[in-house]
């Protein structure tokens, strides 16, 4: 049996129908190289794992006994993977004709590039930006004040929008700060050098952290617009309710800044988040399920809990 060049890792959390479509798309539009597919199921409750076992017997299935989060689950799959290149793929994505060939070709032609990602489109065919600069304090201020979302097309507020549009128009790859974790292709050599995903991130910014470590180790991180796939969006995210994603996203930001930014930047980020979530806690209704998340964020800022999602945070509320 030919050893795989590419290992496709798909993390699943209660996205049964979307997962089925994702795996079917891999069979319809396989990469132009020997490959293997591994599904890591994060204790789904909708029969996702059973679907893989019954309909896709050729796909390796890893069943976790609890929801480990995105990065930790991918790391379990990575331990079982044999490819020299790894594609971390969301279960709510679908490959299209030729999705992966441009990514593999780019890695072949540019040995100094270690991480690549394709363009992503919605079901209606419209493309949306999947690249960002390395997050700094200004990035966080614009994001948390809503300015980045409101003025998304502004070249000052969001200069990467212009970079993305030019890449889409020309079809030429461009170096970026970080890429969407929904479809991230990484050389195994990069992962061996800088380490796998940091399991302290539960959901959000784990790919940002990995790209940052790769860039600091001298590897190129590049957006390859000729590669294209469909991303339904919100698959696993919709399964996490009651403020869990708010908590996970915010503690991930704190963790990232603690690892990669200065002490002053960390202090100013804490001040920004403390003001934001104190105000939200005061204004939110008493029966709003997000109240506990706002409280836990404030506790994290004050050092009363670790900057990560813990087992008790996953309990229904």
How many whole angstroms separate alpha carbon 108 and alpha carbon 77?
Answer: 24
Question: Which pair of structure tokens corresponds to residue 96?
Answer: 């299209």
Number of domains in the chain: 2
Tell me the residue range of the domain where 254 lies: 240-314
Do 199 and 288 reside in the same domain of the chain? no
Q: Which of 188, 213, 237 is the last residue of a domain?
A: 237
Angle of CA points 251, 179, 71, to nearest 5°:
50
| pLDDT of residue 36 exceeding 60 | yes
Query: Residues of the chain with pLDDT > 90: what percent?
Result: 85
- The pLDDT value recorded for residue 241 is 56
How many whole angstroms separate alpha carbon 82 and alpha carbon 306?
Answer: 34
Measured on CA atoms in the order 253, 118, 96, 64, is the torsion positive or negative? negative
Do 265 and 182 reside in the same domain of the chain? no
Identify any residues that bridge with 36 across adjacent strands, giving them in sequence order: 7
Q: Are 45 and 73 in contact (CB under 8 A)?
A: no
Query: Residues of the chain with pLDDT > 70: what percent?
Result: 96
Mean of per-residue pLDDT scores for the chain: 93
Do 84 and 35 reside in the same domain of the chain? yes
1: in domain: no
What residues contact residue 272 under an 8 Å CB cut-off, 6+ apart? 140, 141, 144
| pLDDT of residue 114 exceeding 70 | yes
Do 148 and 260 reside in the same domain of the chain? no
How many whole angstroms separate alpha carbon 288 and alpha carbon 26?
Answer: 41
Do 76 and 34 reside in the same domain of the chain? yes
How many whole angstroms separate alpha carbon 86 and alpha carbon 131?
Answer: 19
Q: pTM to 2 decimals?
A: 0.94
Sequence-ordered alpha helix ranges (H) in the chain: 16-28, 48-55, 70-80, 101-109, 137-144, 147-150, 159-170, 188-194, 206-216, 244-260, 263-283, 291-301
Cβ neighbours, 10 Å, residue 211:
26
């Amino acid at each position: 049996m030919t050893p795989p060049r590419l290992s496709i890792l798909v993390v699943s959390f209660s996205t049964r129908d979307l997962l089925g479509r994702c795996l079917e798309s891999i069979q319809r539009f396989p990469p132009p190289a020997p490959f293997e597919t591994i599904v890591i199921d994060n204790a789904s409750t909708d029969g996702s794992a059973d679907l893989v076992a019954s309909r896709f017997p050729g796909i390796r299935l890893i069943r976790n006994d609890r929801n480990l989060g995105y990065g930790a689950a991918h790391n379990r799959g990575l331990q079982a993977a044999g490819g020299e290149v790894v594609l971390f793929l969301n279960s709510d994505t679908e490959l299209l004709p030729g999705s992966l060939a441009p990514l593999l070709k780019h890695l072949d032609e540019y040995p100094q590039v270690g991480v690549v990602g394709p363009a992503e489109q919605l079901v209606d065919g419209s493309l949306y930006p999947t690249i960002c600069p390395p997050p700094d304090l200004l990035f966080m201020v614009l994001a948390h004040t809503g300015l980045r979302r409101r003025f998304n097309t502004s070249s000052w507020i969001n200069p990467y929008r212009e970079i993305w549009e030019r890449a889409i128009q020309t079809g030429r790859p461009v170096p970026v700060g970080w890429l969407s974790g929904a479809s991230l292709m990484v050389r195994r050599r990069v992962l061996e050098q800088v380490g796998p995903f940091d399991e302290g991130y539960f959901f959000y910014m784990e790919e940002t952290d990995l790209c940052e470590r790769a860039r600091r180790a001298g590897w190129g991180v590049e957006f390859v617009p000729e590669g294209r796939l469909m991303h339904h969006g919100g698959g696993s995210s919709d399964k996490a309710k009651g403020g869990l994603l708010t908590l996970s996203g915010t503690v991930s930001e704190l963790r990232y800044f603690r690892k990669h930014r200065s002490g002053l930047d960390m202090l100013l980020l804490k001040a920004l988040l403390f003001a934001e979530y104190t105000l939200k806690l005061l204004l939110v209704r008493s029966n709003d399920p997000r109240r506990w998340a706002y409280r836990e964020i404030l506790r994290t800022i004050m050092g009363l809990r670790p900057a990560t999602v813990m087992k008790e945070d996953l309990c229904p509320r």
